[in-house]
Amino acid sequence: MLDLFPNEKITLDLPDATFEYYPNFLKIEKANLLFEKLLNEIPWKQDTITIYGKTHLQPRLTALYGNEGKPYSYSNIVMQPHPWNATLMFLKNEIEELTKLNFTTVLLNLYRNENDSNGWHSDNEKELGRDPIIASISLGQERVFQLKHNTKKEIKQNILLNHGSLLLMKEGSQPYYKHQLPKASSPKNPRINLTFRTII
């Protein structure tokens, strides 16, 4: 059994969207175990992406797991999912129990060090629907995650996503906000992030 503390919930005070942060979603021992397992067992790859006609290597490693027949495309790459493994399926079940939602797909990111990052974007691919809910688990090195409103330029928020935490990006989060995981200016250990999504 995963040890969960779903009651420790922080709702961010941001307009037009709901963001809920569970800093201790996973107990430390479970988070440690999951981090080691995923680091060693996932077939991490560095994909080439094309943005504004320019091709380059992604500044992180990724993998996609999910239901059969549900590919996911972004930045001109189409990712075919690996079938769910036991570790990811168990985590998916625990998140589904908390949220009462069904997730079809998880995108995993491995940020190897301070130079790895994920630039400003929203998860607005059409296969996710108009207003998707994303469940984001963080393991390993704490990193700063940033949010900014698309039109209200003064609305910005930084969150330190800690080991074993869950961030739920709910209604309004993708249509109204962009998010990023910037490079860090001091040395960082590896961090794994898992974003559970529903492809419809």
Residue ranges in contact with ligand AKG by CB under 6 A: 107, 109, 118, 123, 136, 145, 161, 179, 181, 193, 195
Q: Which residues have CB under 8 Å from 174's CB, separation 6+? A: 122, 123, 124, 128, 131, 132, 134
144 beta partners: 160
- For 176, the token pair is 């109204």
CB of 180 to ligand AKG, least distance (A): 7
Q: Which residues contact 1 (CB under 8 A, 6 or more apart)?
A: none
Between 1 and 91, CB nearer to ligand AKG: 91
| Closest separation in Å from C-beta 47 to ligand AKG | 12
Nearest alpha carbon to residue 195 among 130, 131, 115, 104: 104
Provide φ and ψ at 163, rounded to 5°.
-55, 120
Closer to ligand AKG at the Cβ: 1 or 179? 179
Question: Considering the complex, what minimum distance in angstroms separates the CB of residue 81 from ligand AKG?
Answer: 14
Name the minimum Å distance from CB 177 to ligand AKG: 11
Nearer to ligand AKG, 1 or 103 (CB): 103
Nearer to ligand AKG, 1 or 24 (CB): 24
